[in-house]
């Protein structure tokens, strides 16, 4: 088993939570894992990415080579395109359709979606709306993870366990809402 | 023992705790910050009472660590690469004094400058100071090496440098823990003159240091981490330093490369291990993060006509961090065509958070400067450096910690008016104080604006030494109390703040404006923590 995942978004959108959840699920399944994170200056509203590598065998590099990612998971549509050179020609791109606009020259969303649709294996969902329906407008990142879970070779139950575990500190209610968001994303 | 999922930074921190650390000293700086943060939040560190308070800057951190070493206990100082410049004086001299309790200095380099002003290579400081360097290639090695580094440090009475780069510092992987070792007992150095670098003593100590440096390269604690892997294909041999090894192996997932590989993760190393490789191969490729230090050394020590390739001849880019794709190209692996980033994708630079106090401070500064036809202000290192970008575009310098104050003095000397510096609270106590004292002594016509958000913001909100002390510090340094002005950067005080700034620009002496409002990030974390605490009480 090998799954090389590029996570992308804007600083503060919760991509590290996605990474943590997949990481926990990977450990539950005794997989090797490397997860490269972005800290520091770029976290202030800039574009951020994280490389997450899961494998049944030991992993060499902390970074995914260009053209080798099996999956791009993006919580923001324009950011999903920024990391395309990493995506394998047979890889999947799963992205939120709701833009995060904090720059003046943000392009029309339709132009971005048009580019995304040029990738053969793509999935575009309105994670913000789905999250709201599931009961928490702040769980868009978990919805996206749910949608991407179809393309990660991990038991869905392990992801649910991991979501429960990282939100348990915040109370049962919040944990349940997030599991609901994860399921809603998977079915979207 | 248990396995933990740790950042490279955290692996070093846990290694230090388990190797009997007694004191951790650091100033926050990407990508090194999480070393101290891990120790601060570690249950074991708290129970054992490991000293773990942030220092004012990297120099004070390293000197304090040296003091703990003097008293026989194990100490660690951590900083980003440019922090080692600040601490260079005690670092280089601590090699000459030698140590008592084990001393590790961690420098986290940032090739490609993800969050830095340069991409200097800290291994250079190892050579420069005659200090051994450990450059772990993965998280497990980072953890394990701490034990050997402390032992080596104590055996040879020498500080040890740990060099990591961003990708190891900020990447997580599983780390297997060892059983912890007890802390060292308090014991003063057997020779109490050891730390007295009077010339007569320093000359003797320096001579001893040179001979130590020659002999330690054969010590197993260093040499066991350098590893030679033979191969049948003798056309090329590859030397990898630190994490470059991973990038090479990534390209040979089935059984590894067929050519010889020498993995170097500790310095200095004996020439013999290089010769094992070089005498077998027609050409040698050197892969290292940062400067071509080994490559240059190799070109110097080889007297045959061996072809050496690497950063110096362009086989590997001269600057920037390595990655698997750069390495693939260097070893001649062809890559398939890639997806391109479509033109519709725009750059998204970092920006001030919504509601950030710095942005209101800069809005007032921009307005206040208008009548003076000013070209902008000097500034410093922190979140507020983002005012170099539109729509502010008001700061004209970001050089090193504290340089805004002193550059403003120099420019005022040359006739610039108003000569204004904008510096953060933590940067001010890091290295702005001494510059302000210079300004006071010569009564320089400068206005120093301290944008005080009550935290070290850019690195994630660590405690600031300045909080609650700024007025008194400035007064104590000799700034006239009537020219220490306190303002609150909020829209409703905008006009007042402009007026106060202009009054001080017009004053032909030293003035300080302290613009205080809590960082929006730390405020929101504090509010969350307080509300969950209150919930607990209900």
- Kindly report the nearest CA distance between residue A62 and chain B, in angstroms: 7
Residues B105 and B181 in one domain: yes
A34: chain B residues, CB-CB within 8 Å: 171-173
Residues B285 and B416 in one domain: no
Report yes or no on B213 lying in a domain: yes
Specify the 3-state DSSP secondary structure of A135. Answer: coil
> Of chain A residues 111-150, which have a CB less than 8 A from chain B?
111-112, 115, 119
Query: B174: which 2 tokens?
Result: 């599983």
pLDDT at B380: 97
Give residue-wise pLDDT tens across range A147-167.
Answer: 999 999 999 999 999 999 999
Residues B240 and B289 in one domain: yes
Q: C-alpha distances in angstroms, B510 versus A121, B184, B217?
A: 63, 49, 53
Residues B219 and B231 in one domain: no
- Report helix, strand and coil shares of chain A as percent, to nearest 5: 45, 25, 30
Residues B407 and B294 in one domain: no
Q: Helices B199-216 and B88-97 meet at what angle, rounded to 10? A: 80
B7: chain A residues, CB-CB within 8 Å: 37
pLDDT at B280: 87
Buried b (16+ CB within 10 A) or exposed e, A122-153: bbbbebbbbbbebebeebbbbbbbbbbbebbe
Q: Which of B278, B311, B330 is the last residue of a domain?
A: B330
Shortest CB distance from B346 goes to which of A11, A45, A107? A107
Residues B106 and B186 in one domain: yes
First CA to last CA across chain B, in angstroms? Answer: 40
**Number of structural domains found in chain A:** 1
Nearest-angstrom CA–CA distance, A4 and A52 = 6
Domain of A65: which CATH number?
3.40.920.10
Report yes or no on B532 lying in a domain: no
Give residue-wise pLDDT tens across range B437-484.
Answer: 999 999 999 999 999 999 999 998 999 999 999 999 999 999 999 999
| Domain, as residue range, for B382 | 357-522
Contact B341 A39 (CB under 8 A): no
Mean pLDDT of A23-47: 85
Report yes or no on B52 lying in a domain: yes
Q: What is the CA radius of gyration of chain A?
A: 15
Domain of B32: which CATH number?
3.40.50.970
Q: Quick one: which of B328, B298, B325 has its CA closest to B312?
A: B298
Query: What is this structure's pTM?
Result: 0.95
Residue of B116, B172, B389, B393 to mutate when probing chain A, most A C-beta within 10 A: B172
Q: Write the CB contacts of B270 (distance below 8 Å, at least 6 apart in sequence).
A: B217, B218, B223
Residues B447 and B412 in one domain: yes
* CA count, 13 A, side-chain hemisphere, A157: 2
φ and ψ at residue B336, rounded to 5 degrees: -75, 160
B460: chain A residues, CB-CB within 8 Å: 39, 43
pLDDT at B528: 83
Report yes or no on B538 lying in a domain: no
Specify the 3-state DSSP secondary structure of B141. Answer: helix
Q: Which of B166, B192, B223 is the last residue of a domain?
A: B223
Residue whose tokens read 């944990």:
A175
pLDDT at A136: 87
3-state DSSP of B149-195: HHHHHHHHCCCEEEEEEHHHHCEEEEEECCCCCCCCCCCCCCCCCCC
Q: C-alpha distances in angstroms, B519 versus A45, B464, B490?
A: 15, 11, 13
Asked if residues B517 and B453 have their Cβ atoms less than 8 Å apart, the reply is yes
Residues B13 and B116 in one domain: yes
Asked if residues B495 and B457 have their Cβ atoms less than 8 Å apart, the reply is no
Report yes or no on B419 lying in a domain: yes
Residues B296 and B433 in one domain: no
Residues B29 and B178 in one domain: yes
Report yes or no on B60 lying in a domain: yes
Contact B348 A38 (CB under 8 A): no
Residues B320 and B194 in one domain: no
Query: A57: which 2 tokens?
Result: 């065998």
Nearest-angstrom CA–CA distance, A25 and B377 = 50
Q: Helices B58-70 and B88-97 meet at what angle, rounded to 10? A: 20
Alpha helices in B373-456 (DSSP H): 403-413, 425-427, 433-441
Peptide bond just before B92 cis, omega within 30 deg: no
**Number of structural domains found in chain B:** 3
Q: Which of B272, B295, B330 is the last residue of a domain?
A: B330
Which stretches of chain B drop beneath a pLDDT of 70? 1-2, 301-304, 533-538
Residues B162 and B284 in one domain: no
| Domain, as residue range, for A108 | 2-187
């Amino acid at each position: 088993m090998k799954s090389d995942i590029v996570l992308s978004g804007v600083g503060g959108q919760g991509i590290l939570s996605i990474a943590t959840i997949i990481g926990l699920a990977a450990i539950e399944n005794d997989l090797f894992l490397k997860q490269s994170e972005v800290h520091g200056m770029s976290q202030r509203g800039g574009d951020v990415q994280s490389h997450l590598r899961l494998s049944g065998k030991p992993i060499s590099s902390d970074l995914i080579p260009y053209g080798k990612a099996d999956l791009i998971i993006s919580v923001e549509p324009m950011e999903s395109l920024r990391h395309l050179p990493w995506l394998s020609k047979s890889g999947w791109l799963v992205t939120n359709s709701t833009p995060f606009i904090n720059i003046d020259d943000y392009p029309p969303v339709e132009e971005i979606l048009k580019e995304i649709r040029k990738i053969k294996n793509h999935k575009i969902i309105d994670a913000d709306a789905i999250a709201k329906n599931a009961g928490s407008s702040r769980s868009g990142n978990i919805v996206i993870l749910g949608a991407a879970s179809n393309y990660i070779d991990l038991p869905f139950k392990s992801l649910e366990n991991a979501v429960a575990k990282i939100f348990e500190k915040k109370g049962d209610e919040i944990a349940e809402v997030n599991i609901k968001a994860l399921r809603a994303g998977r079915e979207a | 023992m248990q396995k933990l999922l740790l950042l490279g930074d955290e692996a070093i921190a846990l290694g230090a705790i388990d190797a009997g650390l007694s004191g951790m000293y650091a100033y926050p700086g990407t990508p090194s910050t999480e070393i101290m943060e891990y120790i601060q939040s570690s249950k074991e560190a708290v129970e054992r009472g490991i000293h773990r308070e942030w220092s004012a800057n990297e120099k004070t951190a390293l000197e304090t660590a040296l003091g703990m070493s003097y008293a026989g206990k194990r100490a660690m100082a951590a900083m980003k690469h440019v922090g080692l410049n600040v601490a260079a004086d005690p670092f280089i001299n601590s090699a000459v004094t030698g140590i008592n309790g084990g001393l590790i200095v961690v420098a986290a380099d940032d090739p490609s400058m993800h969050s830095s002003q340069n991409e200097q290579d800290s291994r250079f400081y190892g050579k420069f100071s005659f200090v051994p360097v450990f450059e772990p290639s993965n998280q497990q090695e980072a953890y394990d090496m701490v034990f050997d580094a402390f032992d080596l440090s104590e055996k040879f009475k020498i500080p040890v440098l740990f060099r990591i780069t961003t990708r190891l510092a900020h990447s997580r992987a599983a780390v297997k823990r060892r059983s912890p070792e007890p802390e060292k007992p308090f014991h003063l150095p057997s020779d109490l003159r050891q730390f007295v670098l009077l010339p007569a003593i320093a000359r003797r100590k320096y001579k001893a240091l040179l001979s130590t440096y020659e002999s330690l390269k054969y010590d197993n604690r260093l040499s066991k981490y350098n590893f030679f892997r033979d191969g049948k294909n003798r056309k090329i041999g590859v030397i990898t330093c630190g994490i470059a090894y991973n990038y090479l192996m990534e390209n040979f997932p089935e059984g590894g490369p067929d050519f010889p590989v020498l993995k170097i993760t500790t310095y200095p190393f004996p020439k013999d291990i290089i010769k094992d490789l070089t005498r077998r191969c027609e050409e040698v490729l050197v892969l290292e993060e940062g400067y071509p230090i080994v490559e240059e050394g190799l070109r110097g020590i080889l007297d045959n006509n061996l072809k050496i390739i690497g950063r110096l001849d362009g086989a590997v880019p001269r600057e920037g961090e390595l990655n698997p794709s750069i390495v693939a190209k260097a070893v001649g692996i062809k890559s398939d065509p890639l997806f391109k980033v479509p033109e519709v994708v725009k750059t998204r630079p970092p920006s001030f958070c919504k509601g950030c106090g710095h942005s209101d401070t800069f809005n007032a500064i921009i307005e206040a400067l208008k009548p003076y036809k000013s070209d902008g202000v000097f500034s410093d290192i922190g979140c507020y450096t983002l005012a170099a970008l539109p729509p502010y575009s008001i700061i004209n310098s970001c050089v090193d910690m504290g340089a805004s104050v002193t550059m403003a003095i120099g420019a005022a000397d040359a006739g610039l008016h108003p000569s204004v510096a904008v510096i953060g609270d933590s940067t001010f106590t890091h290295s702005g104080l001494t510059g302000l004292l210079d300004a006071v002594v010569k009564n320089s016509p400068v206005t120093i604006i301290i944008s005080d958000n009550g935290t070290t913001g850019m690195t994630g909100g660590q405690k600031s030494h300045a909080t609650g002390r700024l007025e008194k510090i400035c007064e104590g340094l000799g700034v006239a109390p009537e020219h220490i002005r306190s303002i609150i950067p909020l829209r409703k005080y905008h006009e007042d703040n402009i007026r106060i700034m202009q009054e001080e620009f017009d004053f032909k002496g030293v003035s300080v404006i302290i613009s205080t409002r809590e960082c929006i990030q730390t405020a929101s974390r504090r509010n969350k923590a307080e509300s969950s605490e209150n919930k607990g009480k209900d």
